Amino acid sequence: MTTPLAATVEGSGPDILLIHGQPGSGADWAGVRRELRERYRVIVPDRPGYGETGGGAVGIADNATALAALLDELGSTEVIATGHSFGAGIALALAQRDGQRLSKLVLVCPVTPGDRLGVVDRVLATPRIGAVTARAGFAAAGWVLGARRVQGRVTRLLPGLDPAHLPEVARSWRNGSLWRSFYREQRALFDELPRLRDGLPQIAVPTTVVIGTHDRVTNPDAARTFASAVGARLVEVPHAGHMLPMQEPAEVAKTIAAA
């Protein structure tokens, strides 16, 4: 049974669901949420294993199931589903599972079923080695992010983040079990992401793919190929990287609203 999701719900109007990536939390969408909440009801969950939801992380399909349950709870019958990175894979799974309630689909810097996952992803998904590497990496990153100077630089580079949230992120990376959630989802990238390919023809929802041209985490060319294959609208944000919702929140919000 999937853990019920904690979520921030703000505003009124048509529903927009914002699905965060890996790792992360709903707080990653703070800037985008601020841009949209005057005209929409914005639903921003913490996925299983993250943020206020906590618990154990789950795979792509179970994330989609948890999100469907949240939408049921909120009485949401027509929603623009937006996913970032790993969250885009979950948005695709939600469209395949529950497409009748989605009015539009927006995939931001997405993982896609056609991705060729690289050496780093493979190492991080490897039993034992991946777990140890993830744990050490998060601990080191948490210590670095704990420095005020680093937090100031991150805030300047990523204006869509809430600066007050950064000390909590640093602590969770340094001392928490976030690495377990990350590692579990790395496994899901290999185990579940390719399975979404067979269900793509079933998706009848108007789809927009948004990429940062300087993304070094997910491959912009793979996203372009995917958008062409499924007949999606493609939006490219010049000079932006993988953290697009945090780097260019106004641009992402504008694209969601125009999807």
Question: 245 with 160: CB under 8 angstroms?
Answer: yes
pTM for this model (two decimals)? 0.95
**What pLDDT score was predicted for residue 120?**
72
pLDDT of residue 115: 67
pLDDT tens by residue, the chain, 259 residues: 567 899 999 999 999 999 999 999 999 999 999 999 999 999 999 999 999 999 999 999 999 999 999 999 999 999 999 999 999 999 999 999 988 999 999 999 999 987 667 767 777 778 878 889 889 999 999 999 999 999 999 999 999 998 988 999 999 899 888 999 999 999 898 889 989 999 998 889 999 999 999 999 999 999 999 999 999 999 999 999 999 999 999 999 999 999 8
Pick the CATH number of 7-116+193-257 from 1.10.10.10, 3.90.550.10, 3.20.20.70, 3.40.50.1820: 3.40.50.1820
Looking at residue 124, what is its pLDDT? 78
pLDDT at 75: 96
What are the extents of the domains in the chain? Answer: 7-116+193-257
State the Cα–Cα distance between residues 86 and 48, nearest whole angstrom: 13
pLDDT of res. 125 = 78
